[in-house]
Amino acid sequence: MPFCFAIGKECRISPLSVLAKEHRKALLYGPVENPHAWLGLKPAGGGNLAFSALLPGATQVELVDASMDPPASQLVAKQGDEGFFECIVKGERVFRYRLRVVWAEGETEEFSDPYAFGPTLTEEDLEPFNRGEDPLAYRKLGGQPRVMGAIPGFAFSVWAPGAKGVSLLGDFNGWNASRHRMRRIGRTGVWEIFVPGVASGMQYKFRVFANGSFQDKADPFASFCEGPPGNASITYDPGGRDWQDSSWMESRRQLQPATSAFSVYEAHLGSWRNKPDGSPLSYLELIEELPGYLKEMGFSHVEFLPLAEHPLGASWGYQVTGYFAPTSRFGEPRDFMALVDALHAEGIGVIMDWVPAHFPRDDFALSRFDGTPTYEYADPRLGEHQDWDTLVFDYARPEVRSFLMSSAVAWLDRYHVDGLRVDAVASMLYLDYSREEGEWLPNRHGGRENLEAISLLQRTNEEVHRLHPGTVMIAEESTAFPKVTGKVSEGGLGFDFKWNMGWMHDTLEFFGAAPSARSGMAEKLTFACNYQYSEQYVHAFSHDEVVHGKAPMIYKMGAGEGDVSVHAAYLRALYAYMWAWPGKKTLFMGSEFGQTTEWNFEFPLDWELLRHADHAGLSRLVKELNGLYRDHSFLPAGDSAPEKFRWFECGERAPAVFSFFRFGDIPQDTLLATCNFSGERIEKHRLGVPFSGSWRVVLHTQDEDFGGGLKSIPASASSENAPLEQWKDSLVLDLPAASAIFLMPVAE
């Protein structure tokens, strides 16, 4: 006769059924909204407690009073063959208990009952999320390590407002959907359960019941994900890293991005460099090579193509399924933290591409998450991105706004990332983006602007800057939308920088023409001055420009069938022009040494090219340009100051010769850049200068050290009292073909 520990008397196991038939059916097959009301130990009235459990595969269950010393136990009656165990216990006090279970395989396991715990989230906790105003929602939703009543485990929660029921399944329950039915939290649309004993590193999914069917879904808030084909979420505690970058983080708070050196190396981690077996370097292996390389090359930042989890490598990371999880292709989240820490140790900032404009249709991810359009717009005229056959986020839905805003903040918060480059902003801003007449819906004012997307971008930028001062938000935006980098308080979007796509297209069109044709194309370079200071710009030659038949940078130079040395000479001149031009810089990996094949995400860069003088010289030039830009602070400080820039000539006096000045606050902080983009040498070319005396040559792209044809270059040039245009003095220089020369005045 078992001992009834609730009241200290002997008692028999009750043969009475605790659960109603309809409750049993719901618990077995779903859906059910509040399983906690039926399972676990509950007052039953009449001085009794009722206990019930659903444990498919169990042959025997004991109820263990964990509050007694020593613990006492009571057998629980098995009810049928479906896994139900039930009993009535004498007593009115609900006590702390554990379950001792013998499984069909013979294994005995003792654990705390998930249905003995109250909810880990309340409606009050979720109010900001439901209002669309929670930038820290990632700390609440998803799989969170928790300690409840001194018992460790994971709390799982998921937003599925249209679901009829949600079950948690994973390694810890044999992927049995009836073991852990989740409860709905009021009217929040969130479902929750705490599972004691779950450790970090266990796979799981949510089974979402809707409309008489179900779909197994990955956790939208997961911090770690399995790759394809399984695509499960993985329990993970992303905290606990002993960060070593406190001085970096503190100095970042004081950073003024607009006036600081900002030279970015854009990289795709999977194809930067491979191991001997052909596989890409892991996060930890990259620590040994990437930070040192970037420091040597003088870049201030690295920008990673999206590292959020994505199932299709061919999307380069731009079709995201795990908005809070670094891709497991290269290691665990803590390994990514270590890489960021190592980059900071070498003085390299970290920017990551972030993709809030669209998401893929994969069944396991966000698409129709609760059986209905949940994260996406319901109307395909709003909710389908035609260019990529993906889905558009419903920016009007408050919980979607919290989800996206929280994703942005999580990368900066958890992983110490220093900024985000926001992909495809133009497609977010306009309802008719890439759509024909009749394929889009106007906004409430009859216009084409997506007002909800605009307000989301504004709020996200505000929250990022509030929570993480000194971080940067960069917009990939290709239209004339006003005030992308304007203050939100003044009607702007609040970005720090905008990619200057117009400058990039015009510049590449100029250099793509034959050198003999460039004399009539001056407006391709000069037009940028009409809008140069309307925004805070980054000038980028990105991954998009070296794929899909566009040719690598070195073969965009319009040099016809000339050998690689001719192409390299024009590319050196282009890079010098870019670095001297006002605005921040971004260059895609491989372009710094003249990769000769288009980028292919499946293959590493051709580092063997650095054995050749043209490519090694180009690399040294980029390093030198970064050093000049970094060491002469007046250059980045004047990137957005129109009074600090002045054209001198734009191809009027000599074909395809362009010259301009960059000014600081003192005469010695003056840079004269003169560029001969023609195919002909121009001798004794006269340039007006604002200061008399000696001007030293600080860079010459035809220097032999950079792969050029000049074994020696003049160290300086002296001005003459020969007025030219607005200047009283002038210099005379020889300008080799395909060259750029930088000069600065020598202090008297």
What is the set of active-site residues? 423, 476
**Strand ranges of the sheet holding 151-159, from the earlier edge strand across to the other edge:** 142-148, 151-159, 190-196, 183-184
Residue appearing with tokens 């819906």: 441
Strand ranges in 243-362 using DSSP code E only, listed in sequence order:
263-267, 301-304, 308-309, 322-326, 349-354
Nearest to residue 383, comparing CAs of 474, 285, 452, 460?
Answer: 452
- CA-CA distance, 427 to 355, in Å (whole number)? 11
Q: What angle do CA 417, 420, 424 make, to 5 degrees?
A: 155
Considering only CA atoms, which of 97, 77, 89 is closest in space to residue 7?
A: 89
Q: What residues pair up with 663 in beta bridges, in sequence order?
A: 670
* Distant-in-sequence, close-in-space partners of 668: CB < 8 Å, separation ≥ 6: 744, 745, 746, 747
**Identity (one letter) of the amino acid at 142?**
G
Q: Residue 545 contacts by C-beta under 8 Å, 6 or more apart in sequence?
A: 504, 508, 553, 556, 588
Name 29's Cβ contacts closer than 8 Å, sequence gap at least 6.
Answer: 178
Length of the chain: 748
Quick check: 233 and 172 in contact, CB under 8 A? no
- Helical axes 564-580 vs 501-512, angle rounded to 10°: 150
What gap in Å lies between CA 28 and CA 287, rounded to an integer?
A: 49
- Cβ 38 vs Cβ 23: under 8 Å: yes
* Burial (CB count <10 Å: 0-12, 13-18, 19+), residue 378: exposed
- Look at residues 382, 403, 407, 336 and name the one whose alpha carbon lies nearest to residue 132: 403
Of the candidates 150, 388, 351, the residue with the CA atom closest to the CA atom of residue 265: 351
Rounded distance, CA 734 to CA 687, Å? 11
Q: Residue 194 class from Cβ within 10 Å (0-12 exposed, 13-18 middle, 19+ buried)?
A: buried
Tokens of 580: 């001297």
- How would you classify the pairing of strands 97-103 and 84-90? unpaired
| DSSP for residue 526 | H
Residues 6 or more apart whose Cβ sits within 8 Å of residue 359: 319, 320, 321, 365, 366, 367, 375, 376, 390, 391, 393
List, in sequence order, every residue forming a beta bridge with 384; answer none if it has no partner: 391
Name the nearest CA neighbour of 147 among 125, 117, 173: 117
User: Does residue 144 sit in helix, strand or coil?
Assistant: strand
Strand stretches in 440-528, DSSP E: 472-475, 497-499
